[in-house]
Structure 1
Amino acid sequence: MNNKSLAEENYLPNNLANKKEFSLKSFFLQWEWLLILILFLVFIINSILSPYFLDANSLLGATSTFLDKAFIVFPMALIMIMRDIDISVGSTVALSGVVMATVYNSFGFPMEIAILVCLAVGALCGLINGLLIVKFKELSAVIVTLGTMILFRGIAYIILEDQASGNFPDWFNYFGWGTAGNIPFILIAFIIVAIVFTLLLHKTTFGRNVYAIGSNPTASRFSGVSVDKIRVIVFVLAGVMAAVTAIFLASRMGSTRPNVASGYELEVITMAALGGISTVGGKGRMLGTILAVFIIGFLQYGLGLINIPSQTLLIIIGALLILAVATPKLKLPKFLLRK
């Protein structure tokens, strides 16, 4: 038997094995269907608790209040798929926003330049995280980003102390609340970013490499995947998206200060985990993450309409995080597992 026949013999069974027959049961047991059900329940419960919840204009307007942090969830999903974590994103938001305000108010640069500087600072913060993680492999991403979380927010406090900085131009302040028709600018931006990251993860070699790193980083390295380079790029993307969050947050608030975005890392990680991103790496899809963003966002909005205390919202977010982590570990009933 020649080499070609051996290659064909080895290839065909693997190729056929990768072609799974469509199963209606498996299709409806996907995590995203549970998320759709949860989102439906959130709408039902909130509409019962408040007669103002289901107003279409109010729902569209509500996205302006929670979608700013949602930009970070996309790179966070990539980071978690790679078996890493970034708990410095909230501090990156704070530092990027503070530097942007300082460049505009203290140094007198145009707002457009200040925005570019904001994005550059976010990218730099992500680059620092990525380089530290790949250079000091004995340190976990949690330890590295815990250190940079304290570092970045500390620098923000050194720059502004405990003061706020605003006085942004009117067009910038309008950007956070403005609409095209009835659709908020931030929702349009979120849709564009969601499409870009979805295509990046699911339709490119880069995305396949991210999954491979999360499944087995050692095997990926020996297979020729630039593991360190990809990890650095993903952390830089997280920094850039944190800067985008800083821009929308500063625009919506009309100012910024060093203590903004506190707790954002908890909410972003919860969104990613609830969306089905595996906490041990290698699994997860962007669709689930997007659904989780709206579940938590509209849950917060609906409970806010009936004046539920913020502490209660934290309890609910924590419970959702536990649910997201624990549910995949539960065993399904035997009748659901039968073929």
Structure 2
Amino acid sequence: MTIANTASASTNRVSHDFEKPLWRRVLISRESGIVALLILVTLYATVAVRGFGQPITLNYLLLDVAPILLIALPMTLIMITGEIDLSVGSMVGLASVVTGAGVQAGLPFEVAALLALLVGAIGGAVNGFLVTVVGLPSLAVTIGTLALFRGLAVGVLGTTAVTDFPELWTALAKAKIAGTTIPYIMVPFVILLVVFVIMLHFTPFGRGIYAIGLSKDAARFSGIHVERTKFVLFLLSGLVAAFAGIFFTLRFGSARGDNATGLELQVIAAVVLGGVSVFGGRGQLYGVVAAVLLIGVLSSALRLANVTSDVINVITGALLVLSVVGASLLAWVQRARRRPGRLPRVAASTAS
């Protein structure tokens, strides 16, 4: 009986992943594989695709992926908890419409943008309330709010578009940092990235996110406020999506109800490709950022090579499927290598 209890405790205490040295956990991982693939694809595209290595290409690439990079930050944390937010694309469109409608009504752009951020926070809070308080599945809730937010966006402006935005702000959205080809939108992204990295990897709140993804009940019994944590994450998701919607509006100089249609699928594809488990409990932000850039580099290089958008979507989807299948196959091989019924060393020494 003592041996069984000791073995059980040791099994709970020992993690096969953390038995490996730190350098091996960092370098031999799915996230590092995505980073390596990003480097290889970028080098190959620079050499093989005419025009890809030009500074203007980097500028447009970063402008294209900026909304995805922004929204992927809170989406990563949400999916680590085992939840999902499918309404982010519609929230981008709704925030765009609120900004445009505010300017059209005579409000200063800054006030209209603040209203859009407020709408984003409210939308995120609605998702969080329905998931954490009412207890509905996040998949069902956010599918519903996806349609709701998009319907509101289209209902406010209809088929018209608002294009009368201050030139100062539209120019700033496309401007480059002095002496570089990097757009200014990367500055708030880097700030948010640092905040989310610290929050996820260096705070008790972040450890609670991983614990919730591994076992919601165990996390609750450990004293983690599961519902409050999820609510905060959904609130952040709505807020960041609204900010991305404001940037989207300024970059293209147009507020329309159908802005950013389908963006949520690109975000989720990048998060999953970046190593975040769809079942929760696993993921790193640097892998997600690398995955977003990888998809952006692939799309940009293929467009310069005159590949149609349909083929680009097929290639991106195949890459995502291969990454998921490869991760599952690797996990199966690792489990198969472990001999069943083997007692941990601590249990074996106790037994002797």
TM-score when scaled to structure 2?
0.86
User: Are 1:273 and 2:279 matched, yes or no?
Assistant: no
Q: CA deviation at 1:316?
A: 2.2
Q: 1:64-109, CA deviations, whole angstroms, 9 ceiling, x for partnerless residues? A: 1221222000110011001001111100111111011101112x11
User: What secondary structure sits across from 1:164 in the alignment?
Assistant: coil
Once the two structures are overlaid, the 10-residue window that deviates more, 206-215 or 13-22, is 13-22
Contact 1:94 1:153 in 2 (8 A): yes
Structure 1 residue 120, shift from structure 2 partner? 0.7
2:187 is the counterpart of 1:175: no
What is residue 109 of structure 1 aligned with on the other side? 107
What is the correspondence of 1:255-294 to structure 2 with a 5 Å cutoff?
255-294=254-293
In the other structure, the counterpart of 1:188 is 187
Partner residue of 1:152 out of 149, 154, 161 = 149
Distance 1:21 1:83, change over 3 A: closer
Mark the runs of 5 or more structure 1 residues left unpaired by the alignment. 1-9
Aligned match of 2:138? 141
1:163 paired residue number: 160
Partner of 1:39: 38
The change in CA–CA distance for 1:162 and 1:203 in structure 2 (over 3 A counts) is: same
Question: Partner of 1:5 in structure 2?
Answer: none
CA distance in 2, matches of 1:44, 1:198: 27
Alpha-carbon deviation of 1:324?
2.9
Counterpart amino acid of residue 160 in structure 1: L
Please give the residue correspondences for 1:238-317 in structure 2 after superposition, counting only pairs within 5 Å.
238-317=237-316
SS of equivalent to 2:330: coil
Shift of 1:16: 12
Q: What is the alpha-carbon distance in structure 2 between the residues aligned to residue 196 and residue 26 of structure 1?
A: 23
State the one-letter code of the partner of 2:65.
F
Give the equivalent residue in structure 1 for 2:126.
Answer: 128
Structure 1: how far apart are the matches of 2:60 and 2:97?
26
2:6 maps to none
Tell me the alpha carbon deviations over residues 108-131 of structure 1, each in whole angstroms, 9 at most, x when there is no partner. Answer: 111111111111111111111110
Residues 280-332 of structure 1 show CA distances to partners (whole Å, capped at 9, x for unaligned) of 10111111011111101111111121232221222122223212322211137
Amino acid of the structure 2 residue aligned with 1:65: D
Q: Which amino acid aligns with 1:149?
A: L
> RMSD over aligned Cα, in angstroms?
2.5
Corresponding residue of 2:347: none
Amino acid at match of 2:124: G
Q: CA deviation at 1:40?
A: 2.1
Distance 1:159 1:16 in 2: 53
- Moved >6 Å (runs of 4+): 15-19
Query: CA 1:23–1:62 in 2, change beyond 3 Å: closer, same or farther?
Result: closer
Q: Could you tell me which amino acid in structure 2 is paired with residue 110 of structure 1? A: P
Please give the secondary structure, in 2, of the residue aligned with 1:184: coil
Return closer, same or farther for 1:123/1:23 CA change in 2, 3 Å cut-off. Answer: closer
**Count, aligned residues:** 325
Q: What amino acid is the match of 2:238?
A: G
In 1: Cα distance, 2:150 partner to 2:57 partner? 34
Aligned counterpart, 1:89: 88
Q: Which runs of 5+ in 2 are unaligned?
A: 1-8, 339-352
AA aligned to 1:306 is A
Alpha-carbon contact 2:50-2:304 (below 8 Å) kept = no
Distance 1:305 1:231, change over 3 A: same
CA distance in 1, matches of 2:126, 2:114: 18
Are 2:274 and 2:287, in contact at CA under 8 Å, matched by a contact in 1? Answer: yes
Measured in 2, the distance between the counterparts of 1:130 and 1:327 equals 33
% identical aligned pairs: 36
Farther off after superposition, 74-83 or 305-314: 305-314
- Look up the SS of the partner of 2:144 in the other structure: helix
2:317 maps to 318
SS at match of 1:255: coil
TM-score normalised by length of structure 1: 0.89
CA offsets 1:234-271 (integer angstroms, 9 cap, x no match): 00111011111111111110011011111111110011
